[in-house]
Amino acid sequence: MARAKQIQEKRAKKRVDASGGDRTVATNRRARYDYEIIETLECGIMLTGSEVKSLREGKAQIAESYARFDDNELWLYQMHVPPWLYAVGFGSHDPDRRRKLLARRHELDQWLHETRTEPYTMVPLKVYFTGGKAKVELALAKGKKSQDRRQAIAKRDAERDIARAVRHTEKYDF
C-alpha cells in the first residue's frame, strides 16, 4: 500500500514539473562574450509538433542563430532543432528552417526602429519552456571589439582578486 502511494506522488510531481516552471532547453553563452547586451525581450516561437517533442527532449542548438525582420515580422534563423526520433514522413521537419517569433506589436516596432537606426544585432540568449509554451529570450546587442573583450576579462579578473582578498581578510580577522 505504501509503495502505491509513493508511485502516485511521483506521478503527481511529474505532472506538476511538466505543466509549470521554467525549464531551459538551450543557452547561448558565447553571446554574452561576443556582444554587449542592450535590452532583452521574451518571445514565443511558432513550432511544429515534432519540433516541440524534440525541444522537450532538450535537443536544440542556438549558438550560431540570429533574428531578423522580414516584412515587419520577426524571424529566427539557424536555430538547429534535430528531427524527433519517432517522426517519419510528413511528421518530421526541416531542422534548420526559419521560425517566426511572437511578440507584442509595439515591442516589435520599437526594435525595428532600433535596428534600423543603430548597428544592433538580435541574438537569442536562451530557449526555454514556461507554462508549457516554448519561449526564446532575445537580446538586442552590439558587437564587441577584441579590445573590449580584453578589458572585460581584465575587469572580471580584478573583481575576482578583490573578492578573494576580502574573503581572506574576513577569514583571519579576529
Tell me what pLDDT residue 89 has.
Answer: 64
Q: What is the per-residue pLDDT across 35-93, written as a single tens digit (0 to 9) for each?
A: 889 999 999 999 888 888 888 888 889 999 999 999 999 999 999 988 877 766 666 67
Fold annotation for 20-143: Small Protein B; Chain: A; (2.40.280)
Contact 75/136 with Cβ under 8 angstroms?
no
Tell me what pLDDT residue 16 has.
Answer: 47
> Does the structure show a pLDDT above 90 at 123?
yes
> Does the structure show a pLDDT above 70 at 94?
yes
Tell me what pLDDT residue 48 has.
Answer: 84
Which three-class secondary structure state does DSSP give residue 120?
coil
Distance CA 61, CA 77 (A): 11
| Residues in contact with 38: Cβ distance below 8 Å, sequence separation at least 6, in sequence order | 120, 139, 140, 141, 142
Contact 75/100 with Cβ under 8 angstroms?
yes
| Domain ranges within the chain, ordered by starting residue | 20-143, 144-174
- Residue 2 or 120, more confident: 120
Contact 137/40 with Cβ under 8 angstroms?
yes
| Residues in contact with 69: Cβ distance below 8 Å, sequence separation at least 6, in sequence order | 75, 108, 111, 112, 115
Q: Residues of the chain with pLDDT > 90: what percent?
A: 43
pTM over 0.85: no
pLDDT band at 19 (very low <50, low <70, confident <90, very high): very low
